[in-house]
Amino acid sequence: MSDLRDLVDTQVQRWVRTDIQKLAAYPVPDATGLIKLDAMENPYTWPDALRHEWADWLGRTDVNRYPHPDAPKVKAGLREVMNIGEEWDILLGNGSDELIQLIAMALAGTGRTILAPEPSFVMYRMIAQYLDMDYVGVPLTANFELDLETMLAKIEREQPALVFLAQPNNPTGNLWGDEKLRRIIEAAPGLVVLDEAYTAFTQADYLGWLEDYPNLLIMRTLSKVGLAGLRLGILIGHPSWIEQVNKLRLPYNINSLTQLTATFALEHFEVFEQQTRELVTLRSDLYQALKALPGLTVFESEANFLLVRTEPGQAPVIHQALKDAGILIKKLDGAHPLLADCLRINVSSPEENSALVQALQGILG
């Protein structure tokens, strides 16, 4: 067996791109048995009545047939709950990750560059690497604000084909400000994607900007509002843009069960909107509770998570201590220089938030 492994390793080293061999796969920690506060999920399950009705829908689904290639019922439901006008087209992806990859593939080419503020969603950089595109990360300020002049200077110098701007930003939770966003979109020579993954938790909404800018697309998801298991990403924009990106989408990328479940959930979307409103209130409560703890700096957030900075060197210690106490959060320390000593905490139910605060009180003294 060892001889076979050596032969396989030789083949891998010969044929797999060298830069791919040097990459690490996206890490997803095992959360079995833990209170899971690391992935920005909605902590609430569906009400029993809704679950039973959904199960009846699933029982009438024929999985021996391929799914509808364009998921028209899902798109109709999205237009209704998100107020998406008929003048805009919609492309669905297997999560936002697939959409990011499809957009980048459509614009990839020799000398083409992706640009984004940093720290931000790690997949912007990773997908650029997968596609062998140049990537330029523009550091935020020490307070995680957008450095507009540096962004504009980088855009002028790099002439990026693609700019990603997360609103609110992950992992910092803040908004960039409308004036800064407009300046960047107007300066960008190529496509700009506003990633509104957390739009449900903020009043900011940029869908109307599609009328103002021919180089703009809006990206959203259902993952944060209670449907993370569906892996359903949403791209909204002018039909000419969507037509080109859609050419790269693999057939039947949204399976039958996802289409049915999303259609059903969108018909009952008021349930998820109520849960979202509750999480916004709980975010404020958790922010105040964490601010009261010694040794923590808590940043205000427009998303369903809070970014926390510990005293120097304590982030890994606190992360492990919480894990030992049965609570999993995200350790950002080491991911980017600006995130030194930082942790990210999912806003959850009152019970899980209380468990987190109690555990931190014991850890921090």
Q: DSSP 3-state assignment of 342?
A: strand
So what's the architecture of 64-268 in CATH?
Answer: 3-Layer(aba) Sandwich (3.40)
Gap between the Cα atoms of 237 and 91, Å rounded: 9
Q: Note the pLDDT of residue 19.
A: 85
Gap between the Cα atoms of 343 and 329, Å rounded: 7
The mean pLDDT value of the chain amounts to: 96
**Average pLDDT estimate for 10-34:** 88
At which residue do the structure tokens 């008929």 appear?
86
**Average pLDDT estimate for 120-124:** 96
Distance of CA 217 to the CA centre of its chain: 16
In the predicted structure, residue 1 carries a pLDDT above the cut 80: no
Among residues of the chain, what percentage have pLDDT more than 90? 91
Q: What is the DSSP string of 134-195?
A: EEEEEE--TTS---HHHHHHHHHHH--SEEEEESS-TTT-----HHHHHHHHHH-SSEEEEE
Phi-psi region of 95 (alpha: psi -120 to 50; beta: other; left: phi over 0): left
In the predicted structure, residue 353 carries a pLDDT above the cut 90: yes
At which residue do the structure tokens 């509808």 appear?
68
Hey, where are the domains in the chain? 19-47+271-364, 64-268
Q: Which residues pair with 35 in a beta bridge?
A: 327
Q: Note the pLDDT of residue 23.
A: 83
Q: Note the pLDDT of residue 13.
A: 92
Q: List Cα–Cα distances, 278 to 43, 136, 189, 281, 302, in angstroms.
A: 11, 37, 40, 5, 14
**64-268 matches 19-47+271-364 in CATH topology:** no
Residue range 56-90, pLDDT digits in tens: 999 988 899 999 999 999 999 999 999 999 999 99
Residue 46 is encoded by which pair of tokens? 């569906």
Distance of CA 285 to the CA centre of its chain: 23
| Residues 227, 265 contacting (CB under 8 angstroms) | yes
pTM for this entry: 0.95
307 φ/ψ angles, rounded to the nearest 5 degrees = -95, 135
Q: Note the pLDDT of residue 22.
A: 86
CB atoms within 10 A of CB 81: 16
Q: Which band of pLDDT confidence, cut at 50, 70 and 90, is reported for residue 3?
A: confident
Residue range 146-191, pLDDT digits in tens: 999 999 999 999 999 999 999 999 999 999 999 999 999 999 999 9
In the predicted structure, residue 43 carries a pLDDT above the cut 90: yes
CATH superfamily of the domain spanning 19-47+271-364: Aspartate Aminotransferase, domain 1 (3.90.1150.10)
Gap between the Cα atoms of 105 and 123, Å rounded: 14
Residue range 214-264, pLDDT digits in tens: 999 999 999 999 999 999 999 999 999 999 999 999 999 999 999 999 999
Q: List Cα–Cα distances, 342 to 267, 289, 306, 338, in angstroms.
A: 39, 17, 10, 9
In the predicted structure, residue 20 carries a pLDDT above the cut 90: no
Instruction: Find all residues with CB under 8 Å of 295, minimum gap 6, and list them.
Output: 310, 311, 314, 364
Q: What is the DSSP string of 257-279?
A: HHHHHHHHHHHTHHHHHHHHHHH
Half-sphere exposure in the Cβ direction for 25 (13 Å, CA):
3
